[in-house]
């Protein structure tokens, strides 16, 4: 569970898109995968809970040709999102809490959550709400699309040093995906899981700057002392290993789609 100051992403709005951008090819494959599996009509409604800067929802809603309603508790993230909206599209962005959604039941054909459930005190409350908000044949998709910086040498060195102080880096995404799948399948929902792999070319020094600037929310839970000690160790280690920070590295990127539907149409 995060405290509310971390959950509201005002603190990240100015660097969020730069640090979280996934490669275009992975984005395109994600959209194609959704389009192949979702029966949706132009003008249908997509709700994204915790839309942030619209990193995923804006391109996806445009390609699926659906109306987009995005909510977020961060006004600053929504400001970034507004700048990306095509004025010819139906998009409505609202500051609201996913745990107290201002909508009536049965009105969305598609609901998205992406990298938001782990920030909530009770993720299942949102899942329960979603089941009411969806139309009879509506879909719920949890999307996790990220570049796996944690697999790079600088992050490994940094976390190894932190682990000496008792810190353990826990990847919550996998757990949450499993938990919501169990929760909804027990209630009779059908699901389809899909993993798409990609990669992103990065300059090593940019990854080190991400660590230095604590751009990931879990890093904010690390005390300043431990962060500085681990950062110092990281710089020393990079020098000892003669690692050239101007070097380009290929970082794995992944898109996980978990698509849920209450009713699956049978062929006859
Ligand atoms: C990690 S960002 C993900 C943004 C976007 N979904 C994406 O994948 O790029 C999490 C977003 O959820 C928002 N958020 C956190 N708690 C929320 C809540 N209770 N209701 C609505 N939005 C919330 C944050 O402000 C932030 O913009």
pLDDT of residue 230: 96
* Strand pairing report for 134-147 and 108-114: parallel
Structural domain boundaries of the chain? 4-147+169-201+255-261
Looking at the domain covering 4-147+169-201+255-261, what would its CATH class be? alpha beta
The predicted structure's pLDDT at residue 5: 58
Atom 4 (ligand 1) nearest CA = 52
- Computed on alpha carbons and rounded to an integer, the radius of gyration of the chain in Å comes to 19
Please tell me the distance between residue 26's alpha carbon and the centre of ligand 1 in angstroms.
21
Convert the pLDDT of each residue in 128-177 to its tens digit.
Answer: 999 999 999 999 999 999 999 999 999 999 999 999 988 888 778 888 99
Separation of CA 169 from chain center = 17
For 146, residues 6+ apart whose C-beta sits below 8 A from its C-beta are: 20, 22, 115, 173, 253, 254
Distance between CA atoms of residues 88 and 121, nearest Å = 37
Please tell me the residue having the least CA distance from ligand 1 atom 8: 114
The answer to whether the beta carbons of residues 189 and 262 sit under 8 Å apart is yes
Ligand 1 pocket residue status of 44, Cβ below 6 Å: no
Give pLDDT, residue 167. Answer: 86
Low-confidence ranges of the chain (pLDDT < 50): 1-4, 268
- Distance between CA atoms of residues 78 and 51, nearest Å: 8
Q: Is residue 70 lining ligand 1, measured as CB closer than 6 Å?
A: no
Do 114 and 145 contact (CB within 8 A), yes or no? yes
Distance (Å, whole) CA 97 – CA 94: 9
| CB-ligand 1 contact for 73 (6 Å cutoff) | yes
What pLDDT is recorded for position 169?
80
> By alpha-carbon position, which residue is closest to atom 16 of ligand 1?
7
Give the residue whose CA is nearest to atom 13 of ligand 1.
50
State the Cα angle at 114 between 29 and 160, rounded to 5°. 95
CB 16 within 8 A of CB 52: yes
Kindly state if the Cβ of 98 falls inside 6 Å of ligand 1.
Answer: yes
CB-count exposure of residue 37 (10 Å: 0-12, 13-18, 19+): middle
Instruction: Tell me, using a 6 A CB cutoff, whether residue 8 lines ligand 1.
Output: yes
151 three-state secondary structure: helix
The CA 3 to ligand 1 mean position distance, Å, reads: 13
The pLDDT assigned to 172 comes to 80
Check: CB of residue 76 under 8 Å from CB of residue 51: no
Ligand 1 pocket test: which of 14, 50, 59, 97 has the largest number of ligand atoms within 8 Å of its C-beta? 50
The pLDDT of residue 166: 87
Please tell me if the CB atom of residue 93 comes closer than 6 angstroms to any atom of ligand 1. no
Name the E strands within 96-230. 108-114, 134-147, 190-203
Nearest CA to ligand 1 atom 3: 115
């Amino acid at each position: 569970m995060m405290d509310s100051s971390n959950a509201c992403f005002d603190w990240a709005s100015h660097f969020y898109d730069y640090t979280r951008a996934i490669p275009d090819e992975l984005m395109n494959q994600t959209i194609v995968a959704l389009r192949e599996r979702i029966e949706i009509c132009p003008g249908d409604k997509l709700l994204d809970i915790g839309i942030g800067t619209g990193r995923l929802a804006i391109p996806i809603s445009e390609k699926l040709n659906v109306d987009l309603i995005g909510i977020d508790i961060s006004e600053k993230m929504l400001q970034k999102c507004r700048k990306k909206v095509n004025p010819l599209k139906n998009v409505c962005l609202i500051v609201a809490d996913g745990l107290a959604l201002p909508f009536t039941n049965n009105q969305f054909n598609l609901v998205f959550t992406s990298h938001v459930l782990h920030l909530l005190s009770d993720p299942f409350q949102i899942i329960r709400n979603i089941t009411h908000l969806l139309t009879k044949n509506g879909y719920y998709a949890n999307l996790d699309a990220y570049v796996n910086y944690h697999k790079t040498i600088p992050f490994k060195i940094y976390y190894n040093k932190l682990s000496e102080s008792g810190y353990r880096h826990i990847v919550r995404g996998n757990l949450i995906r499993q938990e919501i799948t169990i929760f909804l399948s027990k209630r009779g929902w059908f699901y389809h899981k899909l993993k798409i792999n990609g990669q992103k070319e990065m300059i090593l020094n940019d990854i080190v700057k991400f660590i230095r600037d604590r751009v990931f929310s879990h890093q904010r839970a690390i005390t300043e002392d431990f962060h500085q000690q681990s950062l110092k160790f990281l710089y020393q280690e990079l020098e000892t290993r003669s690692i050239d920070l101007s070097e380009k590295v290929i970082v794995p990127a992944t898109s996980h789609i978990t698509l849920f539907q209450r009713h699956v149409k049978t062929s006859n």
